[in-house]
């Protein structure tokens, strides 16, 4: 067989095999069952919800501040002299009662001044009595010689009598002043308190106006609490938000020496000006008898203050996560669909947000963070109780 015929046969065989393969492929595709196209289902998002339970909600304003004394004074002498006595309670941290003698200045010079002043008073009294008797005698002599006529002042010795009386009054004033200086040699506590700082000792020469110690009163202390402007509408502040003198009750808590103590307190006033930097208003809270407990409510402690405000009726407390922008919340309806609900926020607390308008009892409010949300969106709500359990 010639090469030309052989090559032709190979081409024919190749074409036959190619046609057979194409036929088999067509038959295979024709026998394959047809598949319908489907759109995948969108999963329904799961959201955490809480149920609205309206109640009477007391507003509590939280704040902090440093304890400072209601009374603070410097122990200063009004006379000069050498210190001859200091009380054992005149030390840093020493407690004293009103009237306790804290310090004594050498009284010898002042005792001598009292003695001399007393002698001058007695001398002036004698001069005044003598002048009075001479005046009475002169008046009687004039009347005997000139019946029915009033004696002239010079005859009645009135100038001499007035001078003697003025001298007596002056000497009595000097005597009183000398006694006052003697009394001031004993420096006494003006109130119940504690010594904050003492800087004097026996033998030291002191002068009027010199600071010998710093004294704090222990009858009451005050705490200045900076509050936001909006918080003041919930609490009565005497002279600032009301005129009847009624102040809000408060509770002060501190931690000292491993113990946490609580004291009853009262709002007594506001400092009357708004801080230009923070735009806060300083409210003053007073605590009576801060040293009645152990450990005490000591000066300088940092304290937490809870001020009792008004009570809102039919208000709801929700987690802060429930509040969206523009004072809105997302509510799940009976068909498990989301809808935005405008609300009014009355107050923000450490526990959450208090809402007094826009919600009704039984509403399910979403507290989950949603990336994409729209009105009417279908959700799968999971209800949590107030303790966060499902």
Query: What CATH number did the domain enclosing 116 receive?
Result: 2.40.50.100
Residues 157 and 202 in one domain: yes
- Is 299 within 8 Å of 216 (Cβ atoms)? yes
Q: For the chain, give the number of residues.
A: 390
For residue 217, which of 191, 239, 235 has the smallest C-alpha distance?
A: 191
Query: Exposed, middle or buried, 245 (CB in 10 Å: 0-12/13-18/19+)?
Result: exposed
Residues 83 and 190 in one domain: yes
Residues 332 and 235 in one domain: no
Residues 287 and 355 in one domain: no
- Confirm whether 29 is domain-assigned: no
H or E element that contains 86: strand 81-86
State which of 28-32, 207-211, 278-282 shows the largest mean pLDDT.
Answer: 207-211
Summarised one tens digit per residue, pLDDT across range 104-161 is: 999 999 999 999 999 999 999 999 999 999 888 888 888 888 888 888 888 888 899 9
Give 27-40 as a DSSP string. Answer: HHHHHSPP----PP
Among candidate residues 189, 215, 241, the one where a domain is terminated: 215
Query: What CATH number did the domain enclosing 227 receive?
Result: 2.40.30.170
- Confirm whether 263 is domain-assigned: yes
Residues 97 and 177 in one domain: yes
Whether 7 has a pLDDT exceeding 70, the answer reads no
- Confirm whether 17 is domain-assigned: no
Summarised one tens digit per residue, pLDDT across range 346-380 is: 888 888 899 999 999 999 999 988 888 888 989 99
Separation in Å, CA 61 to CA 227, 233, 342: 8, 11, 25
How many domains, the chain? 3
Separation in Å, CA 160 to CA 125, 138, 150, 154: 14, 12, 18, 9
Output the pLDDT for position 8: 63
Residues 180 and 229 in one domain: no
- Confirm whether 37 is domain-assigned: no
Output the pLDDT for position 316: 93
Among candidate residues 152, 181, 215, the one where a domain is terminated: 215
Residues 346 and 238 in one domain: no
Whether 42 has a pLDDT exceeding 80, the answer reads no
Rounded to 5 degrees, what are φ and ψ at 164? Answer: -65, -40
Residue ranges of the alpha helices (H) in 146-272? 158-183
Among candidate residues 281, 311, 341, the one where a domain is terminated: 311
- Confirm whether 273 is domain-assigned: yes
Residues 188 and 113 in one domain: yes
- Confirm whether 40 is domain-assigned: no
Residues 191 and 297 in one domain: no
Q: Which two tokens stand for residue 311?
A: 């009570």
User: Residue 257: pLDDT band by 50, 70, 90 thresholds?
Assistant: confident
**CA 348, 353, 355: angle at the middle one, nearest 5?**
110
Spatial separation of the C-alpha atoms in residues 345 and 57, rounded to whole Å? 13
Report the 10 Å Cβ neighbour count for 288: 13
Query: What CATH number did the domain enclosing 374 receive?
Result: 2.40.420.20
With tokens 């919600």, the residue in question is: 359
Residues 228 and 302 in one domain: yes
- Confirm whether 161 is domain-assigned: yes
Residues 272 and 379 in one domain: no
Domain boundaries, position 256: 62-69+216-311
Output the pLDDT for position 137: 87
- Confirm whether 134 is domain-assigned: yes
- Is 56 within 8 Å of 309 (Cβ atoms)? no
Summarised one tens digit per residue, pLDDT across range 275-305 is: 888 889 999 999 999 999 889 999 999 999 9
Residues 302 and 359 in one domain: no
Q: Which two tokens stand for residue 28?
A: 């295979």
């Amino acid at each position: 067989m010639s090469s030309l015929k052989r090559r032709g046969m190979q081409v024919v065989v190749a074409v036959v095999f190619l046609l057979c393969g194409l036929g088999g492929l067509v038959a295979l595709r024709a026998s394959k069952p047809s598949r319908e196209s489907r759109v995948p289902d969108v999963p329904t998002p799961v959201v955490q919800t809480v149920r609205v339970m309206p109640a009477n909600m007391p507003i509590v304003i939280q704040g902090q501040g440093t304890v400072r004394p209601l009374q603070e004074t410097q122990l200063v002498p009004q006379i000069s002299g050498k210190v001859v006595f200091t009380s054992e309670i005149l030390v840093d941290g020493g407690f004293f009662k009103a009237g306790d003698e804290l310090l004594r200045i050498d009284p010898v010079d002042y005792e001598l001044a009292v003695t001399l002043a007393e002698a001058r008073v007695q001398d002036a009294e004698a001069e005044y009595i003598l002048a009075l008797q001479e005046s009475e005698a002169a008046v009687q002599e004039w009347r005997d010689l000139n019946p029915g006529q009033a004696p002239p002042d010079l005859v009645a010795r009135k100038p001499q009598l007035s001078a003697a009386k003025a001298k007596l009054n002056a000497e009595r004033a000097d005597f009183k002043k000398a006694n006052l200086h003697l009394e001031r040699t004993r420096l006494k506590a003006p109130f119940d308190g504690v010594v904050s700082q003492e800087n004097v000792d026996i033998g030291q020469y002191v002068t009027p106006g010199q600071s010998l110690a710093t004294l704090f009163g222990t009858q009451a202390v005050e705490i200045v609490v900076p509050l936001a402007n909006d918080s003041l509408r919930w609490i009565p502040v005497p002279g600032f938000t009301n005129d009847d003198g009624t102040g809000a009750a408060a509770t002060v808590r501190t931690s000292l020496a491993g113990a946490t103590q609580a004291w009853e307190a009262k709002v007594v006033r506001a400092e009357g000006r708004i801080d230009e930097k923070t735009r806060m208003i300083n409210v003053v809270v007073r605590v009576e008898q801060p040293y009645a407990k152990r450990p005490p409510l000591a000066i300088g402690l940092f304290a937490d203050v809870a001020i009792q405000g008004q009570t809102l009726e039919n208000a709801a407390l929700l987690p802060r996560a429930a509040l969206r922008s523009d004072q809105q919340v997302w509510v799940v309806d009976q068909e498990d669909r989301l809808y935005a609900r405008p609300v009014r926020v009355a107050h923000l607390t450490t526990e959450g947000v208090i809402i007094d308008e826009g919600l009704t009892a039984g509403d399910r409010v979403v507290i989950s963070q949603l990336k994409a949300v729209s009105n009417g969106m279908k959700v799968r709500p999971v209800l949590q109780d107030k303790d966060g359990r499902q």
